[in-house]
Structure formats: C-alpha cells, structure tokens
Amino acid sequence: MFRKTWVIVLLAALIMAAAGCSQPEKIQGANAREGILDLRGGDFSGNQTRAMDGEWQFYPDKLLEPGQTEEEFSTYMRVPKSWNNYPTPYGYADGKGYGTYRLTLLTDPEPSVLAIRLPTISTAYKLWINGEVRAEMGRVGTDEASEKPAQTPHVVTFANEPGKTELVLQVSNFHHQRGGIWGQLDIGAPTAIIEQHTRDAGHNAGLFGSLVIIGLYHIALFALRREEKFTIHFGLLCLVVGIRTVVTDEALLLRWVPSISWEAGFKMEYLTLVLSAVAAYMYVNRLFPLDTSRRLRIYVLSVSTLFTGIILLLPSYELSRMLPLFQVFIVSIALYLVVVLIRGFIRKREGSVFVLVGVMVFILSVINDILYYMESLHSTDLVPLGLFFFILMQAFIISTRFSKALRSVETVSEQLLELNNHLEDRIEERTVALRKSKEEIEATNIELEKLERSRRHLLTNISHDLRTPMTLIQGYLEAMQDGIVQGKDQQDHYVRMMLGKIESLNRLISDLFELSKLESGQVTFDRKKVLLRNWIDDIREFYELDIENRGMQLHIVEPDTARADSDRISVFMDEMRINQALGNLIYNALKHMQPGGLIKLVFTYNPVRRKIILDVRDDGSGIASEDLPFIFDRFYKKDKSRNSAGGGSGIGLAIVKEIIELHEGQVSADSVPGEGASFRIELPAKEEEGTR
C-alpha cells in the first residue's frame, strides 16, 4: 500500500516538474556595474534572454527626463531590489517616495531590434529609451494625490542605437509598503521576450481555468452528496486560489477587465491570501473531524472575519504594512494542519497520506511566496502550483472513497443476489441445463451447415481455380514440344516458369481446401512483412512474360517517390494468397481484352490512412453497371459479369474478396462498359523508418 502511495506521489511530482521544463535559455554575462550593462558580443538571435540585474544609477526624489540627469546627485541601486533596503537619503524605509533609474546599454555597432520585459513595479513608472517614451504604467507622481497606481507586466520593443542605448525610468510609490524595482527585467530578441511573456500569461490562465473548473466540480459534488462536507471547502479553496492566480504575477484579471482599479485588485490579492488559509483549514477539519479542535475552528473563523474587514476597509498602503501579521496567521494554520495530519496518519485515517503530502507541498509553496515577497528568496509565486499538486492528491482521495463506496454497494448487491438465487436454485439449474442443451444443438446445426457449404464451395473452387494454372502449364509444354522454345537458356526459363506455376498450383490446392473452411472460421494465412519493392518485382517477373505471350501488355506504376519510397513501404500479408487474388483479377481481365490490350497496375500509398492501394485497370469490354453491385457475390453468373467469365462457376471474384478482407483490406470495382474495368485493392501498410 505504501509503495503504491509513493509511486502516485512521485508521478504527481513529475507532472508538476514538467510545468517548468520549457524555459527560455538565459545568456550568462556580467551584471550591470555603475549604471552600465555591457551587451556586446551577446547573441540574441535565438530564443535567448538576459537578466538586466546589477547596479543602476538612481536619482532619489527626482523625476528626471533624458538629458536632465545630474551626476552629482546620483547613487547606485541594485536591481532587482526594493528601495526600502537602502539608507536615507538614497532609500525610503517606509517605501514611499519617487526617483529616477538610469541604465546605459553598451551594444554592438550593428543596429538591431530588442525587447525588454518589465515586471510589476511599485506602483507607477514611465520609461524612456533613447529619449523616446516607450512605456508608462499608471501615472508617476511626487505624492499620493498626484500618483495613479497600476501594476501589470509589460513588453517594450525598440531599435537600439549602435554602440550605446540609454534607459531612463521614473518610478514612484505611495500606495505600497515596498517601492522601487523588485522584480527582474529581461532583455532579448522580441520573439524570445514575447514568447516568455505569452507563456507566463498562458501558464497563469491555464492554472486559473483548471482551478475554477475543479472548484466548481467539487461544489457540484457537495450539492449531489451533502454528506461529504469537505468537498465544498476544497472547491472554495480552488476558486479562491484561482482568483489569486489572476491578480498576482501577470495580473491577468486587470488586463481582462480594465475597469477594475489597481486598489481593488490589490485588496483581492490580500483577501484571497487569508481566505485560502481558512478554506484549507476547513477542508482538513471536515476531512478529519475527530483529529481537529472545534474551539480552534471558531477562533480561525473569527480571526479571518476580522482580517477580511480590515482588508476591505484599510487603504492599500496601510494594508500592505499588515502583511507580516497575515503571514503569521497563515503559517500558524499551516503548522497546526501538519500536526493534525501527522496525528491522522498515525491513527491510520483514510487518505491521510495523500493529504499530508499534498499539504506539505502546499505549505512549502506558501513559505516560498512569503520569503519571495519579503525579498529573502529569488523565486516566483508558487502557491497556485502547490495547490495544483494538492488537487492531485485530493483526486486520489475522492477516487479512493468512491471506489470504496462502490465496493460496498457491490458487496450488498452480491449478498442480495445470493439470497434471491438461493430461492430459485432448482429452477435456475433446470433452466441452465435446458439452455445449454439448446445452445449445443444450435451450435452443432450451424457447424454442420458450415461444413456442407464448405464442401460444396470446395468442389466448385477446384473446378474453377485449377483450370487456369493447368492451362498455362499445358501451353508451356506444348510450346516446348512444338519447338517454339529454342535454346537452352529459353528452355531453362520456361522450366523455371512451369516450376513456379506448379508450386503455385500446389499452394493453390492447399488454399482451396483452406478457403472452403472460411465459413467455418478455420482459415489461417501465413502473413509476413513484405517490402512493396520486392512485391512489385515479384509481380513483374511472375506475370509480365505470360501477358506478353498472350499478345497483351503489362504496365506497372509505382508510388510517387515524392510522397513515398517503395523500398520503405511494407505490407503485412500472405504474398502467395494476395498474388492468387491478383491473378484472378488479371486473368479475368485478359479474357475480356482484345490483342494488343493493356493491363495497368497502379500502386499508390496513403500515409494518412496507412494503406497501399493497387488499381488493376484494363481496356477490355468492361462490366455492365447493373452487374457491379453483385460481381463479388458467390455464384453470380449473369452472362456479362466478370464473375462468370469464360463460363466459370461464379466464385472467382468472391474468392478475391474473401482473401482481401481476411487481410483487413477492401476490394471494389468500377467500370465504364466498352472502355474497360478497374478493380481497387486496399491493404494495410506502413512506411518503415530508416529502411533502405
């Protein structure tokens, strides 16, 4: 049991790890020093980006534009890092303030187009590149009244000046307890930067959609089965974290609904932080009620209600200063949940292993986010991913519970069925015996009918299919007797052809016996993988001379080499039996053609359907349209039907159809009377990799 559990956990972890496997390649290089970032020699032609970390020039308490920089008042500030961490007069301990960042990029002499990905910057900024305004988020101000906050990541493209490019970035913050640039800026080719930006947005949107769907699903489960109260709390947890996903990082909600103000989005971010902790607590509380404290539940709900009121009423700046208090509340709940789950694990509560592992991962993601927002860890927002892992564990719990419930229902059903069966055992035994006897009699009758049909078909097939090869051998022998065949080489060639016909005849006799068993389901084919090239060569050698001796021509069209190579296409078939079917079609066609006529074998390969298609075309008398639907029926012998060619028994094309269909193929016919007929054979095939 434990081994199976850890296999499931490992599989879920691998799924989570796959989410971060497609990251753009980072170009390694020295960080910016004293306001200068050297990009010379960097290759931005591919999917590569470079972080713009390092020392930027900073002008505190000044909103300077390009050309107004005052060197004597500047200092150097590390990016990414909030300006709260710098001493006065260069930093702002309370986060409130404004200033101008400046960075000079040293670039190659050749002009090129680059792009910069700007993170969320607290809480308004305006960017110039080479003297032109290229980005503005919110409105930069010198006090709270003049500033308009806004925070969403942004991508800026620009044509860099050969040799040197200047960036001037005005930043102000009067609405958050942390200000300045505390997110990483990336520079690279526009395609790489836009791809990174789009991927991150798509990642968040995908998480949001997944969490909302899963949340609504669990709420629906609660509506259908109210005994499982933990499902509604888990559903609410998914919805809350889903909303948090689109108000943090990429701030997708503010982009989807521009009418939502920055402060409303900020309050939603803090509100979802508190509510997610409460929902997680209530989920575990309902899942393991015997291991949690009812008094503590009242305390958690009371404190969360108080925090909700504070979040809704306080302005954004004062609210951001209370983040440590919220974090203490969340960590306290997390530690308590770990204790509860360990207790449940010791007491062997159902599903406690999955919940413990899921909660531990979720708690680690929460701790990561706390350290990330405190600038103690260079990371990203991992709570949505942590919850996604938690959801996987929850799915196993629900599956286990429903499986257990289903087994209980099945057990009860079996017990009831056993009681009912006990009352009717004697009747059932007699009924079963009678039914079995009836089935045996019916099966015996069906088998006898099949054997009788097979016997009749066997005799008919022998009279039909032995005539053609015997006639050919007789013709070869008469030609040798009459002296038409002269020279040892030509005689040897005819002998080989006759031996081949005899071998084919022996195989044909065996085939006829086995084909007679078709209706009894006892036919076996010797199917092997045959290269199309070899098959075509065999057909040419086997039929070409014979057809020419009859005064006809054979033309073989191979697959278009631009689409497929005959040396790489293989057909899984019994070649002798397929050639038997093909021979029936060819010799039937010869009987309806004039001297000098042409038989064309056209091979094509359909890579989508994985079919080799063989069209057998002749320019003979054709087939009447009223005969076409019936020519593959056994014993169809209308005067002009191909199935009755030459006074035959009417099973030649029926045998063709049986052989092809037993190869999982299809055969069809088309004709215009007086212009010839075309028979199409389709057989499964595939193109081998690396076969030559």
- Phi, psi (degrees; rounded to nearest 5) at 56: -105, 145
What's the rounded Cα separation, in Å, for the pair 363 and 371?
12
Here the tokens at position 556 are 């073989």
- How far is the C-alpha of 19 from the C-alpha of 380, rounded, in Å? 14
Reply yes or no on whether the pLDDT at 627 is more than 50.
Answer: yes
Which residue spans within 30-175 are E strands per DSSP?
A: 36-38, 48-51, 54-60, 75-79, 97-106, 112-118, 124-129, 132-137, 154-160, 164-173
Instruction: Give every CB contact of residue 487 below 8 A, 6+ residues apart in sequence.
Output: none
84 vs 5, residue with greater confidence: 84
pLDDT digits (tens, 9 = 90+) for 324-363: 898 889 888 888 888 888 888 888 887 777 778 887 887 7
Whole-angstrom CA distances from 294 to 305, 335, 337 are 17, 17, 14
Does 396 score more than 90 pLDDT? Answer: no
In the predicted structure, residue 523 carries a pLDDT above the cut 70:
no
Rounded to whole angstroms, how far apart are CA atoms 345 and 359?
13
The residues pairing with 571 across neighbouring beta strands, listed in sequence order, are 530, 685
The matching CATH number, chosen from 3.30.565.10, 3.40.50.300, 1.10.357.10, 1.20.1250.20, for 525-692 is 3.30.565.10
Q: Is the pLDDT of residue 648 over 60?
A: no
* CATH code assigned to 450-521: 1.10.287.130
Residues 6+ apart with CB under 8 A from 9: 354, 357, 393
Higher pLDDT, 690 or 273: 273
Give the SS3 label for residue 606. strand
CA–CA distance from 39 to each of 22, 29, 377, 624 (Å)?
A: 24, 8, 27, 80
pLDDT exceeding 70 applies to what percent of the chain? 82
In CATH terms, are 31-188 and 450-521 the same topology? no
Lowest-pLDDT range of 266-280, 348-362, 396-410, 610-624? 396-410
Domain boundaries, the chain: 31-188, 207-401, 450-521, 525-692
- Range in 201-215, 560-574, 628-642 with the lowest mean pLDDT: 628-642
pLDDT confidence of residue 122: 84
Is pLDDT of 13 > 50?
Answer: no
Q: Which residues are within 8 A (CB) of 258 and not within 5 positions of it... i.e. 6 or more apart?
A: none
User: Going by CATH, does the domain composed of 31-188 fall within 2.60.120.260?
Assistant: yes
Rounded mean pLDDT of 23-38? 75
pLDDT in tens, 303-325: 999 999 999 999 999 998 898 89
| pLDDT averaged over every residue in the chain | 81
Q: Which contiguous run of DSSP H or E holds residue 7?
A: helix 2-18
Which one, of 643, 686, 680, 688, lies nearest residue 660 by Cα? 680
